[in-house]
Structure formats: structure tokens, C-alpha cells
Structure 1
Amino acid sequence: MTISLLPDIAGALEWARKRINAVDARLLLRHVLQCPASRLVGFPESRLDPAQWSEFRALVERRAAGEPVAYLVGERAFYGYDLVVTPAVLIPRPDTELLVELALAHFGDKPGARVLDLGTGSGALAVALALELPGAEVTAVDRSREALLVAMANAARLGASVSFVLSDWFSALEGDRFQLIVANPPYIAASDPHLEQGDLRFEPQTALASGPEGLDDLAQIATEAPHHLEAGGWLFMEHGYDQASRVRSLLTDAGFASIASHRDLAGIERVTGGQWLAR
């Protein structure tokens, strides 16, 4: 009789690397074993039990079919905070952390700022800003009820004080004004072939695509934001790698001042913002 032995950590990773990349394999195995990276390195001879091996194989096959690792493990780090993510929300990306940095640069020394996060998704921006800005009064909106539930769970999990509102951009905020508005809206052209590639295939399309040029939501936010900003308040919007000039024009047309684009870690103009001065 032949006895099939369960693999040890080294063997499981070797099997997985024939199907997916090594980084993803290690992340998935850490998730299954609920262990730090040091265990994979320090105890490669540790053997998986039947349930762990079965779960790991299933996750590897799903990753090989294209499912994002963040959805498979149910979380993604953003600005040093571990956030729950589900297929109901966009996966937080490092580029978006630039919005947090800009907010801190402008309001880090101003306690109690009124902040609005438009299209909060997982709540990444709202949670980070609530935790990083002292005494900030943070409001987060999203048109998706499912996304808001994820964001609310993240705020509760991390102890962030955030008010959540079901709203299609500013529609449920009549009369509300803020000192800072941040947004990472959909900005991919609806016909962009990248929407059918990689992780984007599995993310909510309503959080990715916005009209024939990807500018519809950016234009709407730029136009409506002045009605919800206090005098001297700021608007910062993330956008595509080739949209900075167009977004600067949108802010100019809307009457903003001090308009500038800011580069991400790759040197790409990723966020554009401006200040609203009362007329």
C-alpha cells in the first residue's frame, strides 16, 4: 500500500510556484497557516495538515485562474493599516496613499478639520485620515450599500471615528461643507482593454470605469465640489497616469485656485488638487 505524505512548507511552496509567482504563494500559505513570514523561513520542514493542504491548493488554483490575492485572503494593507476587502470594493493601492500624504501636509497641524471622502469603497482613505488627523471630523460616502458595510467594518475594527452616508457623490450632502475633500473616483475609459485583464477583471466595474474618456466622474466632482467646500478649502482627486492636464483644466473651469498635480512614487502625476476661494 502506498501512503501519500502531506507536504511540508518547503514542498507546498515548491508545488505552488509551478502555478503562481513566489510572492503570492507565500502570502497565501501565510494566510492558511495564520503565521508570520518568519515561520516559512525558519521551519520549512513543518508539515501541513490535511485541511491546510486542501485550503492552500484551492487558493492557489483560484489565484492561477486570476482572482486577486487581496480577495482570496480578505485583506490588504493601506498606509500601515490592515483593511478587510471583499469583491464589493476596489482593492486599495499604494498610489492612493498620496492623497493621505497631501491631506496631512495641508491639515496635519489643524486639529478638527472637516473632511469628506468621496466614493470611500473599503474606507481606506477615510479610516487613514480619521486616524492620522487629530480630531478630524471625517465623513465618507459611497453609492454602494455593500461597499459602505465593508468600510464601516474597517472603521470599527481599527477604532476610527467616521460618519458613513449612502450617497451618489454629493447627492445626500445638501448644505454640508468641508475643509477638505478627497476622492479616488473611477477614471478608466469604459472601452479600455485593461478592464478585461489582471485583477481588474474581478473588481467592481462601477469603481473603475467612468465614461468614454474616464473623465465623467472627475468632471462631476470638480463641478459640484465648490458647493461643499468652505472658503479656503481643498479638493484632491486621484486620476489616471495621462489625465493630469485634463483634470487641471476641469478645476480651472470650476474656479479653483492654486491648482497643481502631484507625483506618486513612480514619478507619475497621480493626484491633482486645488483650493476653493470664496467669491
Structure 2
Amino acid sequence: MKVYVSADMEGVTGLVDAEDVQPPGRDYERSRVLMTEDVNAAVRGAYAAGATAVLVNDAHGPMRNLLPDLLDPRARLIKGRPKPMGMMEGLTAEYDAALCVGFHARAGVLGVLSHSFMGHEIEDIWLDDRVTGEIGLLQAAAAAYGVPVALLTGDDAACDEMKAWDPAVATVPVKFAKDRFAAQLVPVAEAQAAIEAATTEALGDLTAPASGGGLRTLAVRWQSASVVSHLTAIPGVSRRDDRTVVVEGEMLQLYRLFNLFLRVCTAVTSNPPYC
């Protein structure tokens, strides 16, 4: 059994603030250890379930967060950016299951460190007119490969969001949101034990995802109209309004194209604000 892990950071055990998840935040280095240990818990659970290979993709921010010297040596790690498929780089139809470790709720939801991919730059994303964020897009793209998402860990808002997309996914809430930068924490040892146990159980009872084939429609509303003016130069991308683009295609094509959107947005919005 081959298992894929996409590792984000905002939903990691114990983390609640930008200082925890963004370099050079005062707690970022300690948070890298916690992130690596959450991933290790999932890796241990996967091997206990019979995994023969585990690939981990560092999917947060600079994508250089996980500590290779502390990572379970049975896992292989994808580190750094840019990557054509971003948060799901390395996933293929050869994998039997995907795990989402340390995920967060979408923009606009009252969850810990909630946002969609780029903080305030993206206001909303719709997949076939259904509002989504990182969780929904990854689940849909994994389904297009025929790979079930078996597990998600994060705060309770992220877990609820995953269940709304696919009730078959096992979820482990490692904290409970009190506000966007506050949470009631599950003790670290307890949370990581729960991740390990839930991973083993989830991989022992996999459910095939619904078909991810066919044309899908992706729409993204940006904070800046300037981003839209640049993105509409891409063939097939049209303007819904001054701050929203829309494009139709196969799900995996859309996911890769969306990662191109992010790189264009980063370039367009790189100048500091004038006020």
C-alpha cells in the first residue's frame, strides 16, 4: 500500500498564530518540530496499517518547513517550491490513499488561521458553484486520480469542512477554534497518539472516491482587480466581474492552472501597499 501525505502547518497541534507558522516568527522554529511530529504520527500509523511506501509533501508557505533529520526515515520528502501541483505535488494514481495533516478551514470561516491559499489575497473560491478552499480542491483533485482522502487533521472547523466534502474521511481535531487566532488545544501527546491511531484505522477501511472525471468549473475572487487583469491573458480564463475569474476544464488541469494563478498573483501583488 502506497500512502501520500500533504502536510500543511496552520492545523498542526498547538499552533494558533502567524508567529507560529511564518518565518521568522518567534515560535516558528519550535512549530517546525511540532509539524514534523504530527507528520511522523501519521507515518507511524500508515506503516502500522501495512504501508509499503509513504511520500510526504511539505505543502505550507515556503514549503521548507518539515525537518528532514527529525522525519521518520521510512518516509520520503518533497521539499521546496515552486511545484507545478503545489500542495499535492507527487500524488499520482499509483497511491492507495492520501492523508491531509495540519490543514485549516477556508477563507471566511471562523477557524484557526483560516484562509484560502494566500491569506487576504483570495476572498473566495468556487468549484462548480460550491464555495471551497484548500480542503475541497485537494479532495476533488485526489478523486480525479482515483485516490481517496483517508484522513485529515486540523482544528474542528477544518474537520467539519472535510466531512462536508466527503463524510467517509476520518478526521482528528487537534484543537478547537475560539477565534481565528485562539483555540483550546488538545495536549500534544494525546493529539499525536490520536493521529497515529486514526491513520491506522482509516487505512484499514478505505472507501473509493466518487468519480472525479468530466469538466469542472473553477471561479476565484481576488482582493485585487489587477490580478484579474493579468489572469485573463491566459487562454480559457474569463472575467466574471472586476475581481473574479472563471475557467472550465478537467479537475487535474484546473488544479495545476490554479497553482499558476497563485504565482501570477504573487508577482502582481509583490509591491508593498502604498497606504
Length-normalised TM-score, structure 1: 0.40
TM, length-normalised to structure 2: 0.40
Greater per-residue strand proportion: 2
More helix by share: 1
Greater relative contact order, per chain length (Cα 8 Å cut-off, separation 6+): 2
